[in-house]
Chain A
Amino acid sequence: MHFARSWRQQAANLRLVGSQCTSCKKISFPERIRCTQCGSTELKDHRLSGRGTIFTVTRVFEAPRGFGSQVPYFAALVELEEGPIICAMLTDVDQKDASVGDKVTMVTRRIIAHGDDGPIIYAYKFTPELEG
């Protein structure tokens, strides 16, 4: 089951591909098959830049199943520069570097492994933007 699911999510997970409505221009992430703003079914793929800012952030000490090995981890709402706010873990960051308003950029990291026989899911996390 997880194999088909992860295959279906590749574009969003690995390239931050969302949708833009050709009618009202609304940008959505992840991809939609029907615009939530105007109802149009004429949407095209829209790859997001992967740059954004931390909208809010928490450090997680008790995680849902599958994420325990990464505890403690930073879970953040990241406001992408195109508008959508997405849920993502932060990586390559220490506590003092993770603050609301910090600029972050997308990187691809291992998210979860579904048992010994299931797929290992790689997808986006966010890391502080390098100065200069």
Chain B
Amino acid sequence: MGDRIEIVGIGRTCAKERWTRGLVDLAVEAAGAALDDGGSVSPSAVIVSNALGGALGDQQNLGTFTASRMGLGKVEAHSVSSDEASGGAALRLASALVGAGMHEAVLVVGAEKTSDALPDELEGVRANGLDATREAGFGFGPAVASGLGMQRYQAEYGIDRNLFYHLASTAHLHGAKNPFAFLPWELSFDQYIHSPVVADPLTVCDLAPNCDGGAAVLIRKGSGRSSSLVNILGSSSVSVPTGISEPIASLSLPAAAQCATLALRDAELSLGDLSFLDLHDSSSFIAALSIEAVGLAKRGEALLLARDGHFRFDGPAPLWTFGGLKARGNAPGANGLYQVVEATLQLRGDAGKSQIDGADRALVQCLGSFGATAVAHVLG
């Protein structure tokens, strides 16, 4: 990429059901933490990512309303919505504003408020992130799509359904150490196999839980001098033709694959240079395909590597070091920024019990619309 972008401040809220906080409150809480962390750096623009708020009858034009509630005065402010890739998209667009010299520093905020909605209402609104007419309109939501995908993944690769446990258990193992996680406990095999079926064979434990949350990053143009700040070394975003049948039929996520390749190329790094990754794990099925898309596993082998501890803290390719969507929680419009905040903590050496020793390079990737949108950032 061109001039590097520095991450000068980060903030996040607990990813839980925050009954006393509304959508704008969550954005303000996270944004305030990022500004406090950023010291004297003052943003002249605010970009807020959100996936569901408008459809759930909540605040629209979140950029302007968040800036207003922050007391930032006269700033440029916008909102970005790209389904569950919103957070990554917001950071990429904010980076472009900085890179183009339009702003010295930009505050990027992700927020989502899911707990005001009943589960079926929420799934209905999330379903419109798929094809609203031909998929959502016929009773297909993200969970149904992942259930269909799991069926096919099992059939194609001859894999025992219970092997999917190892993806969820890896995320929970890591999430158990994250005080900001929604489900900070380890997942036993017994819990997993007795979990209620949502869309056969997919169960509740194959799905990331919806939660409230906010995460924020304050960025500015890199000084060019070596510093202790974490930098955005590379980024990319790729969209491909939509439709749940594509990933299910091909058992692949071409947008995720190309996006990760381009982001690494932008950073002039390869997969082997990374200390850890955070990939999209809204369901066990999407998690498996995400792992295979970036090249961490061959096709059909993600679950086997997970079973063998490949993606644990002490494995060769640590994943979801703060619990991923599965354990930290799925706040759709904020996910991409949680990934960046958590990766920055790792790279600063401030990850506490979640710390990966010597972490110096990371790739984070979020996906929207069942993998049709991918956004990746390489940090270091």
Q: Chain A residues in contact with chain B, CB under 8 A?
A: 5, 9, 12, 30, 36, 55-68, 70, 73, 75-77, 85-89, 100, 111-112, 121, 123
Residues of B within 8 A of A63 (CB): 120, 123, 139, 141, 144
Cβ of B22 under 8 Å from chain A = no
Q: Which of A12, A63, A88 has the most CB of B within 10 A?
A: A63
- CB-based contact A62/B123 at 8 Å: yes
Please determine whether B248 and A36 come into contact, CB atoms closer than 8 angstroms. no
Q: Which residues of B contact A (CB under 8 A)?
A: 118-121, 123-124, 126-127, 131, 133-141, 143-144, 147-148, 151-152, 155, 196-202, 241, 243-245, 248-249
**Are B199 and A89 touching (Cβ within 8 A)?**
no
> Hey, which chain A residues are within 8 Å of B133, CB to CB?
5, 9, 30
The CA-CA distance from A112 to B127 in the complex, in Å, is 15
Contact of A64 among B139, B152, B243 (CB under 8 A): B139
The residue in chain A whose Cβ has the minimal distance to the Cβ of B243 is A85
Which one of B120, B123, B202 has the highest number of Cβ atoms from chain A below 10 Å of its Cβ? Answer: B120
Contacts of A68 in B (CB 8 A): 120
CA distance A75 to B145 in the complex (A): 9
CB distance A87 to B134 under 8 Å? Answer: yes
Question: What's the dominant secondary structure at chain A's contact region?
Answer: strand
Residues A61 and B241 in contact, CB atoms below 8 Å apart: no
CA–CA, A112 to B244, complex, Å? Answer: 21
In angstroms, how far is the closest chain A Cβ from the Cβ of B186? 25
A86 near B134: Cβ-Cβ < 8 Å? yes
Identify which of A12, A60, A100, A111 contacts B147 (C-beta below 8 A).
Answer: A60
Residues of A near B201 (CB, < 8 A) are: 58
Q: Bound complex: CA of A12 vs CA of B245, how far in Å?
A: 18
CB pair B200 A87 closer than 8 Å: no
Q: A55-B249, A70-B139 given as contacts; is B197 within 8 A of A61 (CB)?
A: yes
Find chain B residues with CB under 8 A from A88 CB: 138
Contact A75 B123 (CB under 8 A): no
Tell me the complex Cα distance, A55–B244, Å.
12
Nearest 5 pairs between A and B by C-beta? A65-B124, A64-B124, A58-B147, A85-B245, A67-B139
Interface contact B135-A77, CB-CB below 8 Å: no
Report which of B119, B134, B144, B245 forms a contact with A75, defined as CB distance below 8 A.
Answer: B144
A62 and B199 contact, Cβ closer than 8 Å, known pairs A73-B139, A87-B140: yes
Chain A residue at minimum C-beta to C-beta distance from B147: A58
A93 to nearest B CB, angstroms?
A: 14
- Other than the given A59-B199, A88-B138, 18 more pairs (CB < 8 A) read A55-B249, A56-B148, A57-B151, A58-B148, A59-B200, A61-B199, A61-B200, A62-B119, A62-B199, A63-B123, A64-B127, A64-B141, A65-B121, A65-B123, A70-B139, A75-B199, A111-B139, A123-B138
Instruction: State whether B134 touches A58 (Cβ < 8 A).
Output: no
Asked whether B148 lies within 8 Å of A57 as measured between CB atoms, the reply is yes
Inside 8 A of B118's CB, which chain A residues have their CB?
Answer: 65
Contacts of A57 in B (CB 8 A): 148, 151
